[in-house]
Structure 1
């Protein structure tokens, strides 16, 4: 008997099937972070054993069914970040076991039902921020019966924070407008765009922590909490009161102001609008007393560059290939599934972050540009990292998706050879030149591969040489000879199948072919 269904973080479309109501024993239903539309079907009310229901981050419309108030076993209810409208059903006050209620980021209207004050079991959060609610805050919610002091304090803080967040929303309506509307309507980021206001701005993350929480979690951004440094700032590890671990990127204040603002704004306008399992998640941002902060999901394993080029790299080939495929899928999403398309402009091994399962997440969108592909966009100066910059970009300043593909090809060469992108001048000066010079003198043999890997297995050698060919076509001198990222994903999956399936690739990872794809 099916008791749990988790279809979260995919690209599912259409309406929620009414047939789900026939699975009587279902206790968990996760459909969050998809593209689902339509209303929440009343048939779901038949799932009387449901304990967790998460429909957040979709495009659901209509009202919240009052039938949800009959789920007497429900502990978690998340409906946030949809397009739900109408009043909050007073029947939700019957959910006596509910510990978390998230309804923020919708278009709910009317008064806050006083019946919600009956939810004495709430321990994590009740979030109704960023809606169109009116009226007064019911006393029943502020002082619910039979609630101990600690829980009462937590509820008051949560509710007051929601109200303050709503007032703050008016002050930053322009920024929030850019973040909340669909990707296809995000404007191109011009070099001369108006920078973010110099006044203090704080967008409260939906996870429910504040700027002061960040300061306490990092001991005022002490060096001992720093986990990474880049050209634009320092990344800190912060463990919140709830136990959630997040990464806080504090942009350098000693750099040129306009560069910091551009980087800050670029990350907000890109990551604030996209969701993909291979793209690092942006929780929120903060501009407070001169500090630009970006809040991300924390990646346990750090960056690929740190692991691959560190003193003790133990990444085997199947793991490296998994990372390569994940990064390619993230880039393919930016290039082909976002409208307008997004060009990262700084793809490198240090910007590919790894979770505890070594799944790749593309990060650092401080240089990202939103463009209408296949047209190029002129830049005022070269941006990117030495060793990864496409040849044509260096002298034309024309940025296209093929620039990202070249940089990705360099990352593939790093995974294959174990070498850094910058090489001694007598060996060509960069990794692409070194590899091509070696192949001209020795042909494409295992001698170019990372000797830290198990090169006794001929299957591994054969697969690596196949991937090497993909890397070489990605780093072709002419951008016209490079494949699209969707074709790169397809070639990687096919190489995996031809060599005996080094890793398990789900069928839904196979990218669809489009008539407008560039030829390799």
Structure 2
């Protein structure tokens, strides 16, 4: 092959040849790929080693609207360790020459239009630790090389014609030579992450125990009764009220001074009471577990509460009002008659059929997508779990406690745990980043999907993996992705239901990918769920205007 530039080193020439086969619809993302340079180091998407050799070790051209085919000259980048071409419009075959990049550790090609089969030459990539070819048009059987057979299922989802290895038998023939081997790499990495999470959670728990013991020994400040003559309503600092204008005294009377018999739920943020007001309206009153000093609520807290109070979406629990009175912080919520999904799903008797469960899953996804993509600023839930998905009398899902962990976990709050999330739902990366992102919510949502599909709780016995995600992957390792992993309480005689549940299972597995980069956005999750419903026979009716984003403009009653 003759290259047009002699001053540029060989790696730069390979990249220029690659560029010739690509277009980006006039965006000129690669305009700085200049043949007059001596090396490609510093070009858009190109990173080189810091030593004297200045070899290309990383190429990241993701989300650049690139179209065309991937040139075989990519195989000339023999020092390449990281290649990311995801979220473009690349077509054609994956070049066999990629097998020459023997130092490649991460290959990310998801969300393109690659077709054909996976070249067996990629089996030469002995150092490859991370592979993602999801959402392409790849077909055929996975190569027999162990590097593919041992990859996680989530590396391949979204290629309808692909089979073998963790994807299951080809052609439905259990006697095929393509069997399901252990997901060694994924399980080993996950075990390390779980150990790290356990250490972090254990340390935080120890600190919490010390803090709790300290406050138990302190004198408890009681909330004076509003029946006392010296207590006036002016001492109650209410930032916004429902239209009925409930006062603090109304709430005290409706709950008999927050008596235990009126408690309907407890969580890390506080206790929830059922209050029947004089008008007959039923509301949920959450008494926050805070230990604040002084009577003034800071501006940051007020701003957060006002933001949450202005949110209106059919799949979000309405926050009607907020009240502060002499050390008591109360949040007034829409009351959900059917309680939480967790209580129904894991209770002694559960009669939720699959269409109802899928409706709940879709509604919760739409509520989260609204928080992530349509709120300004965006809201990260931080504690998605089945107990925070509440159901109305029609079993429609309403996401509760949205953003509350962030609101309560401010500098003045002494009662909140430093751990964002609940056991079994915490994303693996939180153990080493201690940062909460939208991807953490997506992981937690994926766990809820697995609960709906399997009927199991998020925490599993240690001998079965310790958590639901691990249990599911261990099952798939031994049995492929079959109906045996599904909740036996459901009607599994209907093959349409089984097929749809398996499709949703694949979505759940993508949501619970170990790497946050491999997880979809909540908006993408909603679209995948809607598409699964359409492809598998429309188990529920999804109106056209139900596509995300979905808003609700009505005011709180």
2:438 to 401, 423, 444: 401
CA deviation string 1:360-397 (max 9, x = no partner)? 11111321479xxxxxxxx9943111111111112111
| Offset, 1:512 | 6.8
2:245 to 190, 208, 215: 208
CA deviation string 1:318-368 (max 9, x = no partner)? 110000000000000011111221111110001011100111111113214
- CA gap 1:277/1:390 in 2 versus in 1, 3 angstroms: same
CA deviation string 1:169-213 (max 9, x = no partner)? xxxxxxxxxxxxxxxxxxxxxxxxxxxxxx742233322222111
1:340 to 360, 377, 392: 377
**1:300 touches 1:356 (CA, 8 Å); kept in 2?**
yes
- CA gap 1:455/1:391 in 2 versus in 1, 3 angstroms: same
Task: Give SS of 2:424's match.
Answer: coil
CA distance in 1, matches of 2:373, 2:471: 31
CA distance in 2, matches of 1:349, 1:380: 20
Pairs within 5 Å for 1:12-51:
none
Greater CA drift, 229-238 or 472-481: 229-238
Structure number with the bigger relative contact order (C-alpha 8 A, sep ≥ 6) is: 2
With the length of structure 2 as denominator, give the TM-score of the two structures. 0.52
Partner of 1:47: none
Pairs within 5 Å for 1:4-83:
none
| Offset, 1:510 | 1.5
Is 1:457 matched up with 2:494?
yes
With the length of structure 1 as denominator, give the TM-score of the two structures. 0.56
Partner of 1:228: 265
2:405 to 367, 371, 393: 367
Task: Give SS of 1:399's match.
Answer: coil
**1:343 touches 1:369 (CA, 8 Å); kept in 2?**
no
Partner of 1:305: 342
**Structure 2, unaligned runs of 5 or more:** 1-231, 409-415, 551-557
**2:305 touches 2:407 (CA, 8 Å); kept in 1?**
no
1:474 to 505, 511, 517: 511
CA distance in 1, matches of 2:306, 2:283: 20
Aligned length: 307
2:352 to 294, 315, 318: 315
Pairs within 5 Å for 1:179-328:
200-203=236-239, 204-252=241-289, 268-328=305-365
- CA gap 1:469/1:256 in 2 versus in 1, 3 angstroms: farther
**2:236 touches 2:248 (CA, 8 Å); kept in 1?**
no
Task: Give SS of 1:236's match.
Answer: strand
Partner of 1:498: 535
| Offset, 1:267 | 6.3
Task: Give SS of 1:345's match.
Answer: coil
- CA gap 1:369/1:398 in 2 versus in 1, 3 angstroms: farther
| Offset, 1:457 | 0.9
**Structure 1, unaligned runs of 5 or more:** 1-163, 169-198, 371-378, 514-520
CA distance in 1, matches of 2:431, 2:307: 24
Partner of 1:48: none
Partner of 1:486: 523
Moved over 4 A (4+): 255-258, 261-267
> Rg bigger for which structure?
2
- CA gap 1:331/1:233 in 2 versus in 1, 3 angstroms: same
| Offset, 1:297 | 0.5
Task: Give SS of 1:466's match.
Answer: helix
Q: CA RMSD in A?
A: 2.6
**2:283 touches 2:332 (CA, 8 Å); kept in 1?**
yes
